[in-house]
Each structure stands twice: as C-alpha cells, then as structure tokens.
Amino acid sequence: MNTLEQQITTLAKAAVKALYGIDAEDSQIQLQKTRPEFEGNITLVVFPFVKLARKAPAQVAAEIGEWMCNNVQGDNVQCTKGIISKYNAVQGFLNLTISDAFWVEQLKAIDADANYGRFKCPNGKCENEKMPLMMVEYSSPNTNKPLHLGHVRNNLLGYSIAQIQEANGWRVVKTNIVNDRGIHICKSMLAWLKFGNGETPESSGKKGDHLIGDYYVRFDKEYKAQIAELMAAGKDEETAKREAPLMLEAQEMLRKWEANDPEVRALWAKMNGWVYAGFDETYKRMGVSFDKIYYESNTYLEGKSEVEKGLASGAFYRREDGSVWADLTKDGLDEKLLLRSDGTSVYMTQDIGTAKLRFQDYPIDKMVYVVGNEQEYHFKVLSILLDRLGFPFGKELVHFSYGMVELPNGKMKSREGTVVDADELMDKMIADAKEISKDKVNTLQGITEEEANEIARKVGLGALKYFILKVDPRKNMLFNPAESIDFNGNTGPFIQYTYARIRSVLRKADLTPTLYQGEGASPLVGDGREVLDPKELALIQRLSEYPSVVRQAGDDFSPALLCNYAYALACDFNSFYHDLSILNEPDGQKKALRLLLSANVAKVLRSAFALLGIEMPERM
C-alpha cells in the first residue's frame, strides 16, 4: 500500500509541475504533522517553491492547496480522488485535511496486508542473497557465572534490534561471543577443584551455570581472606593482592590452559559444558536465539596471530618485559595492551580475531555490537586497531552503546554474589503475574491450569521485557518489578490486556476469520459515504503511522519507539472502546467498520510486540 506521505508527495509534485513548471524531487516535498492549533492532518511546507513561483508564500500555499483539492486524478498522479477534503494556508504552510473515505480505504489496505509495517520487496520479490546483511552481536556471557539482570537488558535489546532490522529489509545474523577462557574462568575452576568435592549439577540439583557461579563467588571469598592475612603480616594491599596464593594458582592455571595442558583442558571442557546447558535453558525461556555462536577459545589465537603480524609491520611495539602494545596517542587515546608479558591475550586480542573470522564467514555490510556503555572506549580502540591492521571494515563497526540497569539498592557485583539472577527474576515475574491473575478469575473461567500457567508466563515475561525495552536504550535505568507488572499505565500487561480485550470482542462477534482479514468486511466497509467518529479517525490515523515507526526504530536502533507507539495505540483503542459501542451498534456498516478497526488494532499490537520479542495472550 502507498502511505499517506507517498500519495501526498506524488500529488504535490504534480501540483507544482502544473502550476509553476517545477519538476520537484521527492526530497523537496517537506511534510510534517499539522500542529495542534491548526485544522488538518498533514502539512506541506511550500517555501522550496516560492522563489521559482515568484509569489508570496501564502499565495503559493493557497494555489497548491486548491489544485490538490480540486484536480481529478490524472495519468501521472497516483492518488485517490477525493483524498483531500479541506485545506488551509498559513503563510508558507499548507495544512491538509484528509477525507474520511481515504482513511477507510487505508484501514482496508492495512487489513489486507499480511505483513503490514514490514519492508516490501520491489515487485513483491526479494533475492535474498542480494539483500544487505547485518550481524548483531549480543549476550557475550562469561562462563564463570549465570546470566543476570544486566544480561537480560543486553539480550532483550539485541534480539529486538535484530527483529526490527529484519522488518526493515536487512538479512540479519544474530551472533553471540562466549567468553569461555581467561582468568575469571580459571578462578571458578580452581575453586571447584579446591572446595567442590566433585559436586555436579546432577548431584547438587542446580543448573550448571548457577553451580559454577557459586564457585566464582567462593574464590572471591577465599581470595579476600588470603589478602587480609597477608596485610596482617605487613604486606601492603597491592602486594597482598598480587602475592595471594589463590591468585598465583589461577594465573598458573591460565598459562597451563594456553599451553594445552590436558588436565586443565579436560576440567575446562567439563565445567563449560555444564554452563552451556544452563545458558541454553535460560535463553530459551527468555525467548532469544542466535544464528551463530563464536567462542573466545577459538578466536583468541586468530587475534594473537594478527597482533604478531601488526608487530612485524610496525603497527604495534614490544616492551622490555615482552608485552605487546599499540600506541594510540596520535588518535587522541592512550596505549593499549594487546599481549601480556607471559604471552597470554586480553579481550582486545580476542575481539580482533573474532571480527576477522566473522567477516570471513559472512558478507557483512554492517556489524553491530550490543554492549554496555562502559565499553565505549574498548570499541573505539577496536575500530582503530582493525583499521591499522588493514581490515577495510574497521572504521564501519557500530557499537550500540546502552545504559546500565541499576537496582533500588545499588549496582550489582557478581563476585560478591549480589546480582539479580536472570532465572530467579523470570521466576518472580511469572509468579507475580499468576498471583495478580487470581483477581481476574471470572474472566478466565473454563481454562485449564496449564492454560492459566501459560498466560502467567506470557504476562510475566511480557512485563519484564516491556519495562526494560520502553526505556531509551542509551539511558541508565532503574528496574522495579512491582511497577512493571501493573495492569495500568505504560506497561506490558496493560497492552497485552488491551489485545486480549479485542480478541474477546471478536470472539463474541462470532466472526469468521475472513471478516477481519479483509475479505468479508469489504461489502459493508468503505462505500465512500463514511463519516467517521473522531475516536475512529484517531485510531485509523495511529494505525497508519506504524510503518514509519518501524522504520524509525530501525534507523535509531531503538525498540523504545515501538513501545511508545504500542502504548499510544492501546490508549487510543481503550478510549474508543469506552465511548463507542461495537457489538451493540445497530448500524450494520458502523458495526462492521468498528470490528474491522478493532481487529487491525490487535493485529498491529501483536506485530509490534513480536518485534519486541513479547508474546500476546489470547485471554487474560
């Protein structure tokens, strides 16, 4: 379907050609939403044509308005006759009121479009391999602890961004880099060897990632005790941290790992296997997925190789202790460590290798890293280093930098075991949703306990996801579970409840599926005689904005725009539902239009929530 903006653009170009002989480009047609103090729906800015028309701005606006309002569709004017019902010119601004008949046709077109809001391929056919490819990296967990609230925001943002970009015509590869090696992993391994007594997920009844996380916390506890003992013996704090036996053993374990010591590697593989099984369970429950998973243990050697090449070419330098560095002072930064003096690699080394492998594996047009804003410096450095190493994609990397999730009682610290665990958080959200649903037992009569549990799952997780995604991703946010589960206000459950209410209305109307998908409604809806109620008109206009919101959310990498839109649409529908009768409307044409309108509000709400990774319950 052609959007209102497209049709007005075509009509405006025809007007300035007929009136002033101007062959206007699309870019010269400036449209904006009409300001509230003026009558109209859309405003055309006519200043670009004033000089060539050699007339005052108000006169140019009036002449274009008259032509657009009164001219019949011509061969080169792709618009519907009668699209404009009224106009008014205010200086160089032409305010256009769109006819009710046009809005009804828009509603019917929305209804008939199974993929409304999504990118449409030219001529209805896309050659997939020719579509631009975007890789979106998110999650990036360490295998020394379970996923926590910070990972929840990361995963939800990454998955939603991928869905939104697909809706905008990109081929998307969702990818994850698992940080499965390094000193942190060795800390958990060492603590398990010393204090675990052979404990396994099966023997403990714990998920593997939770079990390993417990030993990471145990390492920190024992390490701090050793530091305290050394300081009591007269060592300063820095020396005590460096000479603590546990830390020295962990560093030795890392060296053995990089030297492929068979015992260390076997323990590493076993414990990581436990963690991967736990991660998979959490990802599935959260509703996120990946097309390709990379592992730091497989990519860091590629990175070390590239660093050695850079050393040989003079891009990097080696210090007296054997460590390798990049001097970035000419780029306004500082010096960056790439290889430690003992030859072990750092995160930057791994990211260089991972980037190289990814661009070998896929014809990537845009690489997007969904990583918190505390890593902004890291990605500035990565971009410069890749460019210095001769990779053409170095300068084109996109760091989608998002804010941190904070709690009412402060920041999370995984070493101290004070994180908000992702699994426990999802359990709580679902339990809260189930508790609240007890107050709505009358509306859920006749459903099984299994169905009730499924509703609670969708509502609980929907509350969590929406609460996180509705915040501008670049801002820090305070997570409050009690606010997120509220059925009133700007929350996921409020919008889900609006959707369920519409579905209930449609069930009570006993509609065949075709009626609110375009076929059965057409004989009753849209005969050109419509006079829309302001509430109906507001809903149709809001529905017509959906494709542009999806595009803007893709351009800005902002799921929050979709949240704001879905909330506004739900509010408009509830106002419409409160003031106008649907099922008891005696006029058959009006009833059919309102049912069609309701069905398409549900359709768009479901579409928007799908892009956010949120499921819709049919009943609540």
Q: 363-406: per-residue pLDDT in tens?
A: 999 999 999 999 999 999 999 999 999 998 888 899 999 998 87
Q: Where in the chain is the domain with CATH 3.30.1360.70?
A: 4-98
Burial class (CB in 10 A: 0-12, 13-18, 19+), 395: exposed
Contact 152, 397 (CB under 8 A): no
Contact 130, 22 (CB under 8 A): no
- Looking at residue 514, its pLDDT comes to 41
In CATH terms, 133-179+295-420 corresponds, of 1.20.1250.20, 3.30.1490.20, 3.40.50.970, 3.40.50.620, to 3.40.50.620
For residue 77, is pLDDT > 70? no
In CATH terms, 422-611 corresponds, of 1.10.3210.10, 1.10.730.10, 3.30.870.10, 3.20.20.70, to 1.10.730.10
Overall pTM > 0.85: yes
For residue 520, is pLDDT > 80? no
- The model's confidence at residue 361, banded by pLDDT at 50, 70 and 90, is very high
Q: Where in the chain is the domain with CATH 1.10.730.10?
A: 422-611
- Looking at residue 518, its pLDDT comes to 42
Domain 4-98 adopts which CATH fold? Gyrase A; domain 2 (3.30.1360)
Q: What is the mean pLDDT of residues 475-494?
A: 86
Whole-number Å distance between alpha carbons of 434 and 439: 10
- Looking at residue 124, its pLDDT comes to 64
- Catalogue the long-range contacts made by 300-304 (C-beta closer than 8 Å, 24 or more residues apart): 300/181, 300/345, 300/349, 300/350, 300/353, 301/353, 302/352, 302/353, 302/354, 302/356, 302/357, 303/345, 303/348, 303/349, 303/350, 303/351, 303/352, 303/353, 303/354, 303/356, 304/339, 304/345, 304/349, 304/353
pLDDT digits (tens, 9 = 90+) for 148-199: 999 999 999 999 999 999 999 999 999 999 999 989 999 999 999 999 999 9
For residue 492, is pLDDT > 60? yes
Q: What is the mean pLDDT of residues 548-567?
A: 97
Total residues belonging to the chain: 620
Contact 255, 344 (CB under 8 A): yes
Q: Where in the chain is the domain with CATH 3.40.50.620?
A: 133-179+295-420
For 585, phi then psi, to 5°, come to -70, 120
Whole-number Å distance between alpha carbons of 89 and 527: 30
- The model's confidence at residue 73, banded by pLDDT at 50, 70 and 90, is very low
- Looking at residue 443, its pLDDT comes to 57
- Looking at residue 478, its pLDDT comes to 87
Q: What is the mean pLDDT of residues 590-611?
A: 96
533-545 burial, b if ≥16 CB within 10 A, otherwise e? eebbbbbbbbbbb
Q: What is the mean pLDDT of residues 29-41?
A: 92
Whole-number Å distance between alpha carbons of 490 and 471: 11
- Looking at residue 525, its pLDDT comes to 56
Contact 582, 595 (CB under 8 A): yes
- Looking at residue 75, its pLDDT comes to 36
